[in-house]
Structure 1
Amino acid sequence: MSHLLQDLPPGSLDYYRKQASFDWKRMKVFIDTEDGIKFQNNLYKKLQMHPEFLGNPLLQTLDEKRNKATQQALAYASIVKSLTNSEITTIKREDIILRTILQFNPSAAFKYPGIKRLFTSALQNQGTQRHHKFIQLAESGKIYGCFCMTEIGHGSDTKNLRTTVVYDKEKGEFVVNTPDFPAAKCWAGGLAELATHAIVYAQLYINRIHWGLHGFVVPIRNPETLLPYEGVILGDMGEKIGVNGADNGFLIFDKYRFPRENILNRFADVTPEGNYVTSATDLKNVRGAVLGALSIARVTVTAKSEFYGTKALTIAVRYAAVRKQFGPKDEEVSILEYQSMQYRLLPYLAAAYIIRFFSMYLDEVTQEFVKESKERNDPALARRGMEIHVISAGAKPVSGWTFRDAIQECREACGGYGYLKASRIGDIKNDQDSINTYEGENHVLIQQVSNWLLKVCSNVQNGNKISTHLKSADFLSNASKILKNKFNATSVVEVCKVENIIDTYQWLVCYLLRETKRKFDALKQSEGSFWARSNTQIFYCKNLSTAFVQHLFLQRMITVINRSPDANIRNVLLKLFSLYGLYNIEKFLPSLFGGGYVEKPEATNLVHEAVLTLCRDLKNDAVALIDAIAPPDFLLNSILGKSDGRVYQRLQIALIRSSSEASRLKWSSETVGKIVNPRNKL
């Protein structure tokens, strides 16, 4: 594989690399494929030669950050366009493209989809032939698109968005209006400075009849001057905690007119005469199809959390392998040898692998759904769209919360040096934090999963067998049988077995679903459906949805493990599977005991011992596992985590540079006399 992957530079990480039980290059090929790595290598080569990606200037002002991100996004789009590879799949190609730009500069990554993906995907997935002109203009760089769903006063509650679109039959135009400031569209990336067109979701009215939420492509700025059109008011959301190169803005319409043809009409349309037409027999099917098409963005967000987490884990694991402190005698040992460090980092390394494999799979099934949606529109497809929506609604928060915690642990594991900006973990932390809100607030999304599962539960109680396209909940048909099972492992080896972990998760989901349904039904009698749903979230719905999603992650990992032709890779992936499963099962022990699945207190010790044993067994593989998924050094850009392990040499350079820049205080004349003479007050 020397023609694909170069050997990593020798150095302080060699000890652990030599201890690895598998070949990291074979693992990388297994994950990314040979064609994927070829494409990746060409992309890296072009990035390192392009002037927009050379160096790392410290940008001070908001305008500088935005300008740099814009120029990098434009350059990146040009680079990607120049690369051709007939063998690599579109999904793998898109995964590499998004991962690379996000790990280099998240702000540029947010602007790149505006040029290439988010805007055009909405047009492709929900529009028809008559919208192709906008796609062509966006692809050629003549227009810049943004995506406007959220309003100042409404985010996840899309049903109650208040922007209105009224059809004017006399002029054959739509009139879009923002009734007040809380109805202003907000947070759209690219909206503050660049967007010429917006995908706008608004409540459609025809002859005073309300037809619900629909999407429209609306011109908002003159592409030649970037000045807003009359009737369009644009503003800036201001500086944020992170991702400040992205220009998030707000948008207000004052009875602004645009052509009738601009409605996204794959699922429903308005004729020139003002008739609402749809092929769906039930408007709920239209909503299901739309939700499924919109899920592609949330699927991407699930992957983005893993991108951030992998970058932070690369820094922390490599640092832990190099950093030495204390020891049994006079010899210091790497802090990766300590049980506490293994427990802090390695379960999250397992999560990085498992969620990466799952997000790639979810992207595949979503793309397949989108492709079929273009060819036909039927109830079965709408149900599949709803299932994809539910799965992505659960995967996004579980992934987001997992890597939020992982990045914080990585920061603390690197001690004070992790707090230095040059470590880059602080930037990763701030940038990833936005994921836990955009594309749906996490607690609202996780509730959508439990709402769907409660409907599934009702079907099971009515004697109906569950059979979905992705088979995400099919096992619930056997809930009554599953709930009779008991935890019967008597050793660490048995606890770690794939079938025992899956059995535990399936029992847990069935039990939590049963208890959630009981609680919901009881509260519904006294409080009504709305408050019953609200008041069953903690200890019920959230736990149910989380367990359901983690079970999906693990099920997919089994498929991946079985696909590997290399026994050593299968073995280490099995350990990652067991570590992820048991690390999370430990958090559910109260439910497992409370529901009677676990009857003997020794089970707790077995789970704890299994987690620690897996951490110990994976310790020597940790650096190689990171090497297989780590971004290259120029993307990582951290003094602590580069592939040669030269932490202290780079730390020395960074500290000397900082000291030289601050060698003489510009304001020393105003201060030094006051410090020397204590009688003076500062």
Structure 2
Amino acid sequence: MVDSNEIRELLPEFPAGPLDEFRGKASFDWRKLKLFLEPKDVILYKKRFVEALKTDPIFNEEETQHDEIRRISAHKIRRMNEIPEFHADFSGNLLKLGVFPEVLNLADPSNLVTFMVNRNLYTSAVEGLGTEKHQHLVKAIEESKNFGCFCMTEIGHGSDTKRLKTKATYDAKRRGFVLETPDFEAAKCWSGLLGQLATHAVVYAQLYTPDGCCHGFHQFVVQIRDERTLLPMSGIVVGDMGVKIGLNGVDNGYLLFDKYFVGKEALLNRYADVTDDGEYVVLVEDPKRMFGAALATLSEGRLKIISLCTAFLIKAVTIAVRYAAVRKQFGPSNQEEISIIEYQTHQHRLLPYLSAAFVYKVFSAQILRKHASECSHPGYGYEIHAISSAAKPVASWFLMEALNECRQACAGHGYLKSAELGDLRNDADANCTYEGENHVLNQQTSNFLLKIWPKVLKGEHIDFPLESINFLSDIQTIMNFRVNFNSYEEFIHPRHIIDMYRWLTVHLLKASYDKYEASMEKTKDAFLSKNDNQVYFSRRLTIIYINHYILQTFQREMSSITDENVHEVMRKVFALYALFVLEKHIGFLYSGGLFVGGEPGTLLRDSILRLCHDLKDDAVTLVDTIAPDDYLINSFMGKSDGKVYEHLQKQLPVPNARPTWWRELLTPSQSKL
């Protein structure tokens, strides 16, 4: 229990300034909401970590030259191993729950990506898929002796892992594998740290035994550069992918093997191995368990991306909402100008994204916590794969939509680089692509759901450990549900909102399955039938399915709030995000028969606008509750004191200066004067 004096010391008042007017209108105690969202130890950890970054010279170097950006990024990776504030919590839950990545992501997104590839993606693969003999490789990473990367994607194949062309052929005489890249399309590519820094790589390759039999893709840990010189090993070609539109501190690279030999120990052999004489051996009784474990391992990176998207979203809405409260334009006749956040259009542009920041923050923390518990349920790997393959696309797509709206809502000032929204948008864009291209991931989830539907029709009990789809066991009640309420209070009730999402999930699942079955009758080809089912059916199904699960998670957490005022504002936040997303699918609500007549659709849209209006006076304080430190905001228009124009004036270039190249513009006659 934290007493009131301790709370005020932990969470002091914000600096006085132009935002005071809106802070005075708040309907709730922001400190109580803050402590609901983040326990005391998390708040203290963030403060210590930010203070460590503020005072560390390597984290405050600014450089625009490409090679220097890379040099600084490399030093930051090593420096992270030396910061006490980092070491104190790396092995604990704060890393697993996304707290550490959230801070580092806002300080330097490139550094976060490279660090997580090195200390999480690479090491998780080695630990999760390897055995005791591979653990020294993890220790070498922790001691900064090695740098690791993760190589799955190829130039010609990304998500289609079954068709990866990199080969690993077992050589019984030498007791090892020969790695070979048959052509440039098979080159490993886009791996972070591969371009310049990585000494070791986890490589996905098709495993061949001496009899010529292919046993599918397996993972190998391979040394690719000399640890002292960083020169590539003989038999390896490794290079950089070049300058990108964002995240240029990440040295994405490509890799080719020319009959490169590695010892037998290179195979990560927890689930399968090759004997000395070349016989392939499966080490688990149930191959599905091996596949499920692989899915769970790959899911962790996607779950972390949801947390990163949330951090980007929080930063963007902090900047845009604080600016909207300070910026004044027009007003009623013969009266003072009003803040642009008072306008309905501006509220509708920003507040749904502010509500999403809270919903995603709660969801990302909860799903990472559940994943960290390492559920042993046999269906866990398949369910977490479906969840992560839907949630990563939804979070990253919604983020890009929000960043674009926030940038435009800040008008001309938002176009300045120092506003931070442009760089934020460029860096965030990669979330839509890495760890699986969004549309391809969506299909993974829709395949999972389509397999469940026949079981639902048979009346089988649906039981998955994370409970994302268990409500389908009550299929009859869901299908019979209709919107027969006609007031704002009823429409925004959490139970009614969840019921609408469940109905729409079932409606889209049935429609997707029926379309798939009809196509199968014509084509007799599952691939073509699934392909023809994506745009208006399966893709939309996965979006609604995961939003239902996100909202279900948020609602359960919200029910534990004891303070009445905090609970009420979170209820509105929940409803605004839920209805904002639901409105995008209003056509299906009507075509499926949930909505009849014009009244439900009108009530849906009126409820969104009313929620925006009702949350308007709380917007600045809601932002204060989740806003990062000003050091991490790093924007003249998003600082906690609200002194936008003072900060803008300070960061403008020196006035009355002429260009250094002014003489080049002189005509010959002018030059003689």
Do these two structures clear the TM 0.5 threshold for a shared fold by scoring above it? Answer: yes
Aligned to 1:375: none
Residues 296 and 367 in structure 1, CA contact (< 8 A), matched pair in contact too: no
1:487 and 2:483 aligned: yes
Q: 1:120 to 1:326 in 2, by over 3 A?
A: same
Distance 2:562 2:669 in 1: 70
Distance 1:399 1:43 in 2: 26
Given candidates 572, 594, 598, the residue that maps to 2:595 is: 598
1:68 and 2:72 aligned: yes
| 1:81 positional shift | 6.2
Residues 81 and 142 in structure 2, CA contact (< 8 A), matched pair in contact too: no
Given candidates 520, 533, 536, the residue that maps to 1:536 is: 533
Counterparts of residues 421-500 of structure 1 (less than 5 Å): 421-500=417-496
Aligned to 1:340: 345
1:273 and 2:277 aligned: yes
Distance 1:398 1:545 in 2: 9
Question: Residue type of the partner of 1:358?
Answer: F
| 1:242 positional shift | 0.2
Distance 1:122 1:48 in 2: 32
Gaps of 5+ in 2: 1-6
Aligned to 2:141: 138
Distance 2:518 2:86 in 1: 61
Q: 1:327 to 1:139 in 2, by over 3 A?
A: same
Counterpart secondary structure, 2:222: strand
Counterpart secondary structure, 2:9: coil
Aligned to 1:363: 368
Residues 28 and 628 in structure 1, CA contact (< 8 A), matched pair in contact too: yes
| 1:364 positional shift | 1.7
Counterparts of residues 119-130 of structure 1 (less than 5 Å): 119-130=122-133
Counterpart secondary structure, 1:563: coil
Aligned to 1:671: 665
Q: Which stretch shows the higher mean deviation, 257-266 or 232-241?
A: 257-266
Q: Which stretch shows the higher mean deviation, 564-573 or 531-540?
A: 564-573
Q: 1:284 to 1:395 in 2, by over 3 A?
A: same
Residues 299 and 388 in structure 2, CA contact (< 8 A), matched pair in contact too: yes
Question: Residue type of the partner of 2:573?
Answer: L
Question: Residue type of the partner of 1:41?
Answer: K
1:14 and 2:20 aligned: yes
| 1:672 positional shift | 4.7
| 1:458 positional shift | 1.6
1:350 and 2:347 aligned: no
Distance 2:668 2:568 in 1: 66
Percentage identity across paired residues of the two chains? 42
Counterpart secondary structure, 2:311: helix
Given candidates 39, 59, 69, the residue that maps to 1:33 is: 39
Q: 1:658 to 1:121 in 2, by over 3 A?
A: farther
| 1:565 positional shift | 2.8
Distance 1:565 1:217 in 2: 50
Aligned to 1:311: 315
1:399 and 2:404 aligned: no
Deviation sequence 1:556-586 (CA, Å, 0-9, x none): 0011101223222211111111111111111
Given candidates 240, 243, 262, the residue that maps to 1:258 is: 262
Distance 2:161 2:238 in 1: 21
Distance 2:170 2:366 in 1: 41
Question: Residue type of the partner of 2:301?
Answer: A
Counterpart secondary structure, 1:186: strand
Residues 97 and 368 in structure 2, CA contact (< 8 A), matched pair in contact too: no
1:612 and 2:609 aligned: yes
Distance 1:146 1:675 in 2: 60
Counterparts of residues 290-305 of structure 1 (less than 5 Å): 290-305=294-309
Aligned to 2:151: 148
| 1:85 positional shift | 5.9
Question: Residue type of the partner of 2:310?
Answer: E
Distance 1:558 1:208 in 2: 54
Distance 1:368 1:128 in 2: 21
Residues 91 and 363 in structure 1, CA contact (< 8 A), matched pair in contact too: no
Distance 1:25 1:64 in 2: 41
Aligned to 1:377: none
Gaps of 5+ in 1: 373-379, 678-682
Question: Residue type of the partner of 1:101?
Answer: L
Q: Which stretch shows the higher mean deviation, 159-168 or 499-508?
A: 159-168
Aligned to 1:644: 641
Distance 1:658 1:274 in 2: 71
Deviation sequence 1:118-154 (CA, Å, 0-9, x none): 2111112222211110011100000000011110001
Q: 1:202 to 1:588 in 2, by over 3 A?
A: same
| 1:80 positional shift | 5.0
* TM-score (normalizing by structure 1): 0.94
Deviation sequence 1:354-391 (CA, Å, 0-9, x none): 11111112212222227x5xxxxxxx53x211110110
1:244 and 2:266 aligned: no
Question: Residue type of the partner of 1:339?
Answer: Q
Distance 1:184 1:658 in 2: 48
Counterpart secondary structure, 2:436: coil
Distance 2:557 2:84 in 1: 29
Counterparts of residues 103-114 of structure 1 (less than 5 Å): 103-114=106-117
Aligned to 1:585: 582
Counterpart secondary structure, 1:2: helix
Question: Residue type of the partner of 2:640?
Answer: S
1:50 and 2:56 aligned: yes
Residues 184 and 251 in structure 1, CA contact (< 8 A), matched pair in contact too: yes
Residues 45 and 85 in structure 2, CA contact (< 8 A), matched pair in contact too: no
Question: Residue type of the partner of 1:546?
Answer: I
Deviation sequence 1:403-452 (CA, Å, 0-9, x none): 10000000000000100001010000000001111110100111111111
Residues 114 and 144 in structure 1, CA contact (< 8 A), matched pair in contact too: no
Distance 2:625 2:77 in 1: 27
* TM-score (normalizing by structure 2): 0.95
Give the aligned CA root-mean-square deviation in angstroms. Answer: 1.9
Residues 80 and 86 in structure 2, CA contact (< 8 A), matched pair in contact too: no
Q: Which stretch shows the higher mean deviation, 491-500 or 475-484?
A: 475-484
Aligned to 2:384: 388
| 1:93 positional shift | 6.7
Extract structure 1 runs of 4+ deviating beyond 6 A.
Answer: 674-677
Question: Residue type of the partner of 1:309?
Answer: L
1:233 and 2:237 aligned: yes
Question: Residue type of the partner of 1:33?
Answer: P
| 1:282 positional shift | 4.5
Q: 1:296 to 1:501 in 2, by over 3 A?
A: same
